[in-house]
């Protein structure tokens, strides 16, 4: 079972979020971005065209994060 950043945040309802939970949130956020980037890189150009974006736009979107 994996824990997403939303689920991790639900464990910490108070303002005093532990250091470990902040690390887990950071890790989940960056892991999700990495996986989305990998999926976009693996997509053929036809599929990107169907979504209305080109490869350059997709690459720029992830470089800015």
Please report whether residue 53 resides in a domain.
yes
Structural domain harbouring 51: 30-65
Residues in Cβ contact with 12 at an 8 Å cutoff, skipping those fewer than 6 apart? 18, 21
Please report whether residue 18 resides in a domain.
no
User: Crossing angle, helix 19-42 and helix 55-63, to 10 degrees?
Assistant: 170
Per-residue model confidence as pLDDT tens digits over 16-29: 668 889 899 999 99
Q: How many structural domains are present in the chain?
A: 1
**pTM for the predicted model, two decimal places:** 0.56
Stretches where the chain sits below pLDDT 50 are none
Contact 62, 33 (CB under 8 A): yes
């Amino acid at each position: 079972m994996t824990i997403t950043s939303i689920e991790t945040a639900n464990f910490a309802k108070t303002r005093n979020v532990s250091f470990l939970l902040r690390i887990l949130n950071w890790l989940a956020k960056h892991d999700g971005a990495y996986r989305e980037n990998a999926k976009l890189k693996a997509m053929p150009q036809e599929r990107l065209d169907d979504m209305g974006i080109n490869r350059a736009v997709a690459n720029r979107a992830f470089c800015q994060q």
